Structure 1
Amino acid sequence: MPMNIKVIDDLKQVDVTKLVEESEAEGYRFLRRLVNQYEDGTNTFNKAGEVLYGVWDPAGELVAIGGLNRDPYSDKSGVGRLRRFYISEHARRQGIGTKLLQEILDYGKGHFNEIVVRTDSSIADAFYRANGFSGDLGLPEATHHIILENEYSKEAN
């Protein structure tokens, strides 16, 4: 499926209704939190190194979303957190999630040396492991991480 991956500069200008409803029907509340936190200013993905991406299909429908924040749970510098990563059910298993994740990781290389994520989904666990993340971190706020190969990480080592 051809897709258009773009940075979302203002979530209030994007119709995320279908994704939020679909995610809630699957039992996920994190896209509702994305909208609520964006509206109340708690998380607008606007700090240094942060970004929010959307993926649109050829008909202009938003089919995936995901962002990167500075990790608020880590006291280490250079740690980013993958946030609000969701692929619409009808767009899964087509490489969209992998391409979106790679876009986010490539962006993150300029800002972080490690990216963490927390999931309790076995499907997401398999997805992140297939894309180079290590699991079972033993941390309450992160289940997977990946070390980014970039100038930042080379200087830190």
Structure 2
Amino acid sequence: MLDFKIEKITNLMTIDISHLIMESKEGGFCFIERLVNDYKNGTNTFNKKGEGLYGVFNDKGVLIAIGGMNIDPYSNDPEIGRLRRFYVLKEYRRKGIGRFLVNQILFAARRTFKKVVLHTDTDDGDWFYTSLGFSKSIGDPNFTHYIKLKI
């Protein structure tokens, strides 16, 4: 079993995230770079009620996975959360780390949100989220998957 810990990130600017940005961009994903830019300019700092940004760190203290929860900006319902900016380094995938991180984020979200939505456009993402109990959305252009949270 891998040795890692999950922490709520209170200041993203104090963490080296450059390796996640580089790997995600090489894979065609720009959302980790967008996470940093939005955090820097104050557009999204994951600090509203129920929101949070979480990181998984390996035994050397290196960030290996990240993900956050926001109030869904596409709905007018403050009880709908949106899973965002979720990324696990390739070398740590399929080891339970992503599952652990999502479950921790959803556990914290239960205090505020009744439903969590997300958008993914990859087959791997679809498989991953449905394996966690998310249902596929049909006909809503703002999200591809959702899960209802039990309080």
TM-score, normalization by structure 1: 0.94
Instruction: Give the 3-state SS of the residue equivalent to 2:16 in structure 1.
Output: coil
Q: How far apart, CA to CA, are the structure 2 residues paired with 1:137 and 1:148?
A: 19
**C-alpha deviation, 1:109, in angstroms:** 0.3
Residues 91-145 of structure 1: per-residue CA shift (max 9 Å, x gap)? 0000000000000000000010000000101100000000000013321110000
Counterparts of 1:1-157 in structure 2 under 5 Å?
Answer: 1-150=2-151
> Segments of 4+ in structure 1 off by > 3 A?
none
Q: How far apart, CA to CA, are the structure 2 residues paired with 1:20 and 1:96?
A: 18
Q: How far apart, CA to CA, are the structure 2 residues paired with 1:42 and 1:81?
A: 15
Q: How far apart, CA to CA, are the structure 2 residues paired with 1:126 and 1:49?
A: 26
Q: How far apart, CA to CA, are the structure 2 residues paired with 1:77 and 1:34?
A: 21
Counterpart AA for 2:76? D
Q: How far apart, CA to CA, are the structure 1 residues paired with 2:19 and 2:78?
A: 36
Residues 10-67 of structure 1: per-residue CA shift (max 9 Å, x gap)? 0001110000110000000000100000000000001111000000011211100000
Counterpart AA for 2:133? G
Counterpart AA for 2:147? I
Aligned length: 150
TM-score, normalization by structure 2: 0.97
**C-alpha deviation, 1:9, in angstroms:** 0.1
CA contact (8 A) 2:137 2:146 kept: no
Q: How far apart, CA to CA, are the structure 1 residues paired with 2:138 and 2:5?
A: 33
- Identity within the alignment, %: 46
